[in-house]
Chain A
């Protein structure tokens, strides 16, 4: 694309941060698996070997770029400009870019590159290993780094929750809420995936969301199912949403045309339905994520209704 021509802000820019071993690459690979067939570019800024599943990446036509080079005086990486240029050159353009930041990197700083022409800044997702994050946050060498990462997050994803009792996960979630009160804390893997799968977050840069989203705690649910979904029933369910539902996002195959995706998005008070292109392969499931404000304990009724519609196995 020649300089001076305005580009569509087409490519979502989502940043994955978190300390070494927090589960960034695992999450990245899960997202790539869940989004097989969609155009997602991956940027890794990690040390040693690159452990993004290379087969997966090449099998689905996704592009993996490495971040290299840096500033001679302080070594801060400025190779990102070149990475953006390479992503701009990819044809057809990827819908999304997922950036895995180094374990000591500041994901919020990397998120700023998402304001560049041709990109759309999405959220900052920070992985936190429930088993170790609180110790890491007190660590002599990296405590401040870990806390800075969490404070920069829009979403904190708790990882390795399968290895601890539920009450410990809850306790870590409560602690994260004190460190990063603005962040949403998720750990249900399907909810996390659904969120990332549909293009994480909104087009709103961090810090400019409505104040109520900032201050309150959110919970989210994901609904995934083989579909196809009855189109008119879906519209009916989503037409009547209670006010604590702040976000519904996802893509579904509907009975109207099971060969194409329908992208569903609650924007303001209105639900938009847009064509999401052809369904690239068999076995791809419909998925929706529902985010509610407040500390609700049980499932909201809308989630139950959507499960019924999607034939949800979750």
Chain B
């Protein structure tokens, strides 16, 4: 294969030994060299490709905590407050009023040809409409006959139309807790929490965590649109199933799929998990069967809930309003057993810990496992790590652990954490990326799509600015620099996936994965970083354009 030289306005390599360059030379899907064009022409027979003239090239971004469900959602109508780009590259302006929500639904309703087909929408965040509440009357104005379900951004509330209430016999007599009622005792259409949401049987639910071909294709396209070339499905429930694994291979190994994908096994806390011993054996053989683009072998465990749901496990002084302390998703002794089994087998485990007590349990467990079964370079990772304390970060450094911090929370829920869940002190300390770096803990940042949108530059921007929606800076001393944030979204994330020798920086011999940007993000201030336009990506030498090529 001939050498192809891509000149650019600037190449930011993330390799401190050669931080910038003029051009990248690619051969056989790998970086042959970075340097000046003149230098690169010295590597033998070559072709100049000027498609990136005027662009800024970075290593492709790495999103180390997302779910394929984030792609699947785009099958349905987006009615969120912020502008978003769907995987097909279309821009969906934010719905800034309830009227615009209804207008968006009308438009989607007109596009449906089958009158029986339900209309599902997602992304509604009622926090932006104080004093108003979307209810069945809004939805009935869209259609009185078609079933309509709007799932809120929290995924813990939905609003349904009268057609749905009728079809599922949800009436004034329904006893189930969480059915919101009007003054006459009639359901308003709003259903709170899974027990009430589960009353809707006539319309399918909006996503699951198993293998989903269409969702996966959209997930890849979503990554491409945001300059992400390596994504993680953080916790799939179907990896014991040959058919699902074959499905992954068929989709991801296809040259048209625009990303590498690391599929973690959901080892416990969510699904009725298979025994860790059984899963381990399977994962070792799946890991050996990984391809350049599709990786298996890592494990996800879930220890606690969420801060905004008051279900994350907190150490004293706990939550701001009352004495709730959260819930465990796995009994601590079972967690220790599962973790130790995976650890002994040489697997890397990422553990969902939103609260600091969850982190504490994880660290105690890792410490005990390491004492019993010493192991170097395990890269066990605290994922979310939202309330991990400075002392815990110091321990993590000693234990050889990594942190994948949920920076998007600062923007999306920072105001609530300051005012409602934690108070200003601990809200200012949450998602402590600067403390992680000061302690020497390898750092990444994530979106947890679909919980928040997958957008690497935005995630980096939130960690660097720590600005909330209201405009306040939440904890100025935990801000990191733009280059640090971009490092976290490239090499930092690659490291905790054990892929940093292959992706995350542009170095000779590494995979030719690029993010193609319209300007230099290093020159941006933290807030404008998220405005930088992504033009496309390259994955293993294959170019992709935002909204177009590939899946």
Contacts and interface: CB of A to CB of B under 8 A. Distances in A.
B112 to A, nearest CB: 20
A81 B306 CA distance: 21
A264 B88 CA distance: 65
B545 interface: no
A49 interface: yes
A311 interface: no
A214 to B, nearest CB: 20
A84 B69 CA distance: 23
Contacts of A5: 169
A243 interface: no
Contact of B311 (A3, A47, A74): A74
A78 B155 CA distance: 11
A74 B329 CA distance: 9
Interface string A89-116: 0000000000000111010010011011
A103 B325 CA distance: 17
B45 to A, nearest CB: 49
B180 interface: no
Nearest to A144: B325
Label chain A's interface by main secondary structure: loop
Interface in B169-197: 169, 174-177, 194-195, 197
B111 interface: no
Nearest to A1: B201
Nearest to B205: A81
Interface in B195-231: 195, 197-199, 201-202, 205, 207-209
B271 A68 contact: yes
Contacts of A59: none
Which of B198, B311, B325 neighbours the largest number of chain A CB atoms within 10 Å of its CB? Answer: B198
B22 interface: no
A164 interface: no
Interface residues of B, number: 57
Contacts, number: 135
B168 interface: yes
B98 interface: no
A69 interface: yes
B268 interface: yes
B175 A81 contact: no
A120 to B, nearest CB: 10
A218 to B, nearest CB: 25
Contacts of A48: 273, 275-276, 334, 337-338
A69 B331 contact: no
A103 B198 contact: no
B352 A3 contact: no
A4 B331 contact: no
A12 to B, nearest CB: 15
Contacts of A68: 237, 270-272
A47 B209 contact: no
Contacts of A103: 331, 334
A66 interface: yes
A71 B337 CA distance: 24
Given A78-B194, A81-B194, A3 B202 contact: yes
B87 to A, nearest CB: 18
B154 interface: yes
B269 A69 contact: no
Contacts of A60: none
B268 A106 contact: no
Nearest to A5: B169
Contact of B169 (A44, A71, A117, A144): A117
B43 to A, nearest CB: 46
B451 interface: yes
A34 interface: no
Interface in A32-73: 44-50, 66-73
A75 interface: yes
Contacts of B331: 19-20, 47, 102-104, 142
A75 B169 CA distance: 28
Given A112-B195, A113-B195, A4 B168 contact: yes
A66 to B, nearest CB: 4
B306 A67 contact: no
Interface string B139-183: 000000000000000111000000000111100001111000000
A-B pairs, 5 with minimum CB distance: A81-B198, A78-B194, A74-B306, A74-B305, A66-B272
Interface of A: 3-6, 19-20, 44-50, 66-81, 84-85, 102-104, 106, 109, 112-113, 115-117, 141-142, 144-145, 205
Given A48-B338, A115-B177, 8 more contacts: A3-B168, A19-B331, A68-B270, A72-B450, A73-B154, A80-B198, A85-B201, A103-B331
Interface of B: 67, 69, 154-156, 166-169, 174-177, 194-195, 197-199, 201-202, 205, 207-209, 237, 268-273, 275-276, 302, 305-306, 309, 311-312, 325, 327-334, 337-338, 352, 354, 357, 361, 448, 450-451
